[in-house]
Amino acid sequence: MSYQIRVMGDPVLRQEAKSIDNIDGRIIQMVDDMVPAMYQAEGIGLAAPQVGIQKRLFVYDIGEGPQTLVNPEIVDSDGEWAFEEGCLSVPGLSFEIIRPKEVHLIGRDLNGNEVSIEADELLARLFQHELDHLDGVLLLDHLDRDERKAALRRWREIQSSPGARPASSDDLALP
């Protein structure tokens, strides 16, 4: 099946996803379907809640082929980095957001093996962004009150303009 990417306003994006106890055939199939959905949307990451599935898993590809992380957790972070961040679930908007520059992420791969990754800059940002999705957090939650109000106004304009889903090709479509 092909997945439709959910956009802001869909309640599934606001729920906390559940840990995966067993990496079974359904999970493998889900990943097989999520990866093409990510590529089709020209994203570099996609979290399960973005396709309506409340599981703690995301896929990503920053140019080294598709990867999957199951039950990911950030156990350490360091530094600060400002980066213009977009989201496939908030198409048309992007915001400069400051987050830690480096993170240490642990989790499992699709074979159930433990993984431990020290990530910097773009990959660290992607991990933090995807982790947010698993906790029901969206980009706008990182803005201050005024920025958020302006962003919501802009979002409503985008949503109400006929046929419009403005191309966000200039923005880095972080999942």
Question: What is the contact surface with Ni ion in residues (CB under 5 A)?
Answer: 87, 175
Question: Quick one: 23 or 126, whose CB is closer to Ni ion?
Answer: 126
Q: What is the number of helices (H) and of strands (E) in the chain?
A: 3, 7
Distance, in Å, from the CA atom of 47 to the CA atom of 91, rounded to the nearest integer, reads 15
| Residue whose Cβ sits closest to Ni ion | 87
- Tokens for 140, please give them: 């706008």
What is the torsional sign of CA 27, 44, 10, 128? positive
Q: How far is the CB of 37 from Ni ion (least distance, A)?
A: 13
Q: How far is the CB of 113 from Ni ion (least distance, A)?
A: 26
Question: Quick one: 17 or 87, whose CB is closer to Ni ion?
Answer: 87
Q: How far is the CB of 150 from Ni ion (least distance, A)?
A: 19
Distance, in Å, from the CA atom of 162 to the CA atom of 174, rounded to the nearest integer, reads 25
Q: How far is the CB of 68 from Ni ion (least distance, A)?
A: 16
Amino acid at 169: S
Question: Quick one: 37 or 87, whose CB is closer to Ni ion?
Answer: 87
For residue 92, the number of C-alpha atoms closer than 13 Å in the C-beta half-sphere is 16
Q: Which residues are catalytic?
A: 130
What is the torsional sign of CA 36, 38, 39, 44? negative
Question: Quick one: 11 or 25, whose CB is closer to Ni ion?
Answer: 11
- What residue has token string 């996609």? 46
Distance, in Å, from the CA atom of 140 to the CA atom of 93, rounded to the nearest integer, reads 10
